[in-house]
Amino acid sequence: MDSIVVTGNGPLHGQIAIAGAKNACLTLMPATLLSEEPLTLTNAPRLSDIRTMSTLLESLGAEVAQMQGGQVLALASHAITNHRADYDIVRKMRASILVLGPMLAREGHAVVSLPGGCAIGARPVDLHLHALEAMGAELDLRDGYVHARAPGGLRGGRIAFPMVSVGATENALMAATLARGTTVIDNAAREPEIVDLAQCLRKMGAQIEGEGTHTITIEGVDRLGGATHAVVPDRIELGTYMLAPAICGGEVTCLGGRIDLLAAFCEKLDEAGIDVTETETGLTVARRNGRVRAVDVVTEPFPGFPTDLQAQMMALMCTAQGTSVLEERIFENRFMHAPELMRMGALIDVHGGTATVTGVETLKGAPVMATDLRASVSLILAGLAAEGETIVNRVYHLDRGYESVEEKLGGVGARIERITGQ
């Protein structure tokens, strides 16, 4: 297994290009199942999760061609030849459940493995299933699979989510585009990835209003056509790399970055003493003076502070002046990076969904274990600020969501290298 070795090396200077959003791409790709015509995605990130989704779609009969080194994905689903999404692929990635809505809407039947648990909490799919039931789907859970049928096709319905779910909103939105009549999704997720999906579906001919607000209304159409769509920039990759100069000093411009994708996060950086300037090319980030100040963070659905940046923010707070309280409200078990950071000398006290971090002057390099995608990158950030060498093991998690981390951070002066395992 590969590991990444990081050696603290002082301030960072230069530019980092931000890729297209993994989470947007993972929901745009299954949209191909809604139409016989081609869907071309540009600005796609080159990640193992994208390859997993390609394999899943191909197993259902879709064609997926990678062009321009993987930055362009040409998808086509002339016919869906297999209606069963197998456990062997689905278990690798929870976003696989996003094929359920489109397949059911176009074909009237689908069988999809339940994704199972995941390291950051139970993460059920009940909201996805309730949404499809509200559109007339008949569901049967057997042998670890969802067997879904909509014999006369899906029909429009009113979906009132009891809690905000990004994935369930996406599944419902895609399914509703081909349902008969009007669907109203209340308490919809408002993430930029939802807006991106709605914009792409609209190019394919869908009738959608209200994306980016709490209520999305979809007027079903008989068929969707093809489209070409550029994936929105990855706000989580952006936030992660914004934290690199924040934690190490220096000045880094994240090319393609936009404040509107990360307003709550940028406010917290400002409070901590970090300047963020929006220019025509992206966001330039630099520490104002000296040590950053401790700030409190509560994770919330968009437009709140993203849970996917909580681990990285914790790494920053480990060396801040003062004590910060980080409250995780989206996932119940998302502090697995805390004990690893503590191996590097961080002072962290975790109680349920709250972590109290008392900043120390310096962290010390140590061998650590990446437990999930965002945890792994938080350990790299901490390693950049630490004295000596940090070895981050089990980096396959990292490759699911960050392309060319070594090149991107190495390009701004970080000492980082990958050790290829057996």
Which x/- pattern over 20-39 shows residues binding ligand UD1 (rule: CB under 6 A)? ---x--x-------------
Report the residue number, 94 or 268, with the smaller CB distance to ligand UD1: 94
Is 308 among the residues that bind ligand UD1 (CB under 6 A)?
Answer: yes
Q: Output phi, psi for 285, to 5 deg.
A: -125, 135
Instruction: For residue 163, state whether it binds ligand UD1 (rule: CB under 6 A).
Output: yes
Q: According to CB under 6 A, which one of 124, 144, 181, 421 is a site residue for ligand UD1? A: 124
Q: Is 168 in the site for ligand UD1 (CB under 6 A)?
A: yes
Q: Which of 416, 421, 410, 422 is nearest to 15 (CA)?
A: 410
Report in angstroms how near the CB of residue 237 gets to ligand UD1 at its nearest: 12
Handedness of CA 38, 40, 41, 47 (dihedral sign): positive
Residue 23: which H helix or E strand, with range? Answer: helix 22-28
DSSP character at residue 319: T
- Contact call for residue 95 and ligand UD1 (CB under 6 A): yes
- Integer Cα distance of 195 and 188 in angstroms: 11
CB of 73 to ligand UD1, least distance (A): 16
Position 295 contacts ligand UD1 (CB under 6 A): no
- Measured from the CB atom, the residue of 217 and 307 that comes closer to ligand UD1 is 307
The torsion angles phi and psi of 396, rounded to 5 degrees, stand at -60, -30
Angle at which helices 235-248 and 310-317 cross, to 10°: 10
Which residue, 167 or 282, is less far from ligand UD1 as judged by CB?
167
Spell out the residues 6+ positions from residue 40 whose beta carbon is closer than 8 angstroms to its own: 72, 73, 74, 75, 226, 227, 228, 229
Residue 178 near residue 207 (C-beta atoms within 8 A):
no
Position among 127, 246, 262, 405 found at the interface with ligand UD1 (CB under 6 A): 127
Closest residue to bound ligand UD1 by CB:
167
Choice among 25, 118, 266, 318 that is catalytic = 118
401 to 420, contacts with ligand UD1 by CB under 6 A?
Answer: none
CB atoms within 10 A of CB 142: 8
> Nearer to ligand UD1 by C-beta: 330 or 344?
330
Other Cβ atoms within 10 Å of 304 Cβ, number: 17
Q: Find the binding residues for ligand UD1 in span 326-355 (CB under 6 A).
A: 330-331
Question: Environment class of residue 147 by beta-carbon count within 10 Å: exposed (0-12), middle (13-18) or buried (19+)?
Answer: middle
Choices 72-80, 122-130, 276-284, 414-422 (CB under 6 A): range interacting with ligand UD1: 122-130
User: Which residues are designated catalytic?
Assistant: 118
Applying CB under 6 A, which residues contact ligand UD1?
Answer: 23, 26, 94-95, 121, 123-128, 163, 165-168, 307-308, 330-331
